[in-house]
Amino acid sequence: MPDRALAGALLVGGASTRFGSPKALAPFEGEPLAVRAHRVLTSAFDRVIAAGGFISVRAGSAPEANDTLVPKPAADSAMDAAACIGCGACVAACPNASAMLFVSAKVSHLGQLPQGQPERYTRVRKMVAQMDAEGFGGCTNHRECEASCPKEISILHIARLNRDLLKAQLTATEEKTVSDGAG
Ligand code: SF4
């Protein structure tokens, strides 16, 4: 069980389209904005979680939408999951303080799209491990999360997360068995 501590979150992702250049790197009083924000947060919180990032190579413009075809039901379900705004109302409403609805929305959003396939199973393993490490409770199907969600995220996404996690664990076991046998 982790220590009780006050945590601050720093979002450093985003395309900075309105800003016009990577906002995190913008100079402010002699240092990049993200570095300053991190320093200020560090002085006020016990722990700072920085999330996001960018790549420094040119990846080109957005590809033509029809280059990667996505079945309509998968696209609709992925977009439903993407509606999660990370407000945390589901966690607050759950008697177990479980973050399963929030985490499953993130897992389900990317896991149903072709672009999310390369890291689909490592992603679910890592996200559930981090959720456990942060001390959130387990889901026992109270469904208070679903009832309190302002974006009407369905607990079907939790079922999808559980299915992917099981597959991920089976795959990991197989990988381990193969490497043990080879060793
Ligand atoms: S209540 Fe809904 S929108 Fe808010 S974090 Fe939970 S799943 Fe996302």
- By the 8 A CB rule, do 107 and 124 touch? yes
Q: How far is the CA of 135 from the centre of ligand 1 (A)?
A: 18
Share of the chain above pLDDT 70, in %: 86
* C-beta of 88 in contact with ligand 1 (< 6 A): yes
* C-beta of 149 in contact with ligand 1 (< 6 A): yes
Instruction: Give the C-alpha separation, 173 to 162, whole Å.
Output: 16
CATH of the domain at 141: 1.10.1060
Q: How is residue 31 annotated by DSSP?
A: E
Is residue 138 pLDDT above 80, yes or no? Answer: yes
Q: Which atom of ligand 1 is nearest to the CA of 101?
A: 7
157 and 120 assigned to the same domain: yes
10 and 96 assigned to the same domain: no
Query: Encoding tokens for residue 79?
Result: 């977009």
Task: Find the mean pLDDT for residues 119-134.
Answer: 93
| Candidate from 56-65, 81-90, 92-101, 125-134 with smallest mean pLDDT | 56-65
Report which of 105, 98, 120, 114 is spatially closest to residue 164, judged by C-alpha positions: 120
- The count of domains in the chain is 2
Instruction: Give the C-alpha separation, 128 to 137, whole Å.
Output: 11
Domain carrying residue 42: 1-54
Instruction: Work out whether the CA dihedral 95, 112, 130, 25 comes out positive or negative.
Output: negative
| Candidate from 23-32, 121-130, 156-165 with smallest mean pLDDT | 23-32
Condensed to tens digits (0 to 9), the pLDDT of residues 66-99 reads 888 999 999 999 999 999 998 899 999 999 999 9
Q: How far is the CA of 1 from the centre of ligand 1 (A)?
A: 24
Asked if residue 104 is part of any domain, the answer here is yes
**What pLDDT does residue 19 have?**
84
* C-beta of 105 in contact with ligand 1 (< 6 A): yes
* Model confidence band, residue 14 (pLDDT cutoffs 50, 70, 90): low
* Residue nearest (by alpha carbon) to ligand 1 atom 4: 87
What pTM does this model have?
A: 0.75
Helix crossing, 100-111 with 120-133: angle to 10°?
170
Choose the residue to mutate in 91, 146, 153, 154 for probing ligand 1, maximizing ligand atoms within 8 Å of C-beta: 153
Q: Which atom of ligand 1 is nearest to the CA of 85?
A: 3
45 and 83 assigned to the same domain: no
Give 96's contacts (C-beta < 8 A, 6+ positions apart): 137, 138, 139, 140, 142
19 and 86 assigned to the same domain: no
Asked if residue 181 is part of any domain, the answer here is no
Report which of 164, 155, 158 is spatially closest to residue 111, judged by C-alpha positions: 164
Asked if residue 182 is part of any domain, the answer here is no
- By the 8 A CB rule, do 114 and 66 touch? no
Instruction: Give the C-alpha separation, 172 to 128, whole Å.
Output: 14
* C-beta of 85 in contact with ligand 1 (< 6 A): yes
Q: What is the mean pLDDT of the chain?
A: 87
Q: How far is the CA of 90 from the centre of ligand 1 (A)?
A: 5
Q: Which atom of ligand 1 is nearest to the CA of 102?
A: 7
Q: How far is the CA of 43 from the centre of ligand 1 (A)?
A: 29
Asked if residue 183 is part of any domain, the answer here is no
160 and 127 assigned to the same domain: yes
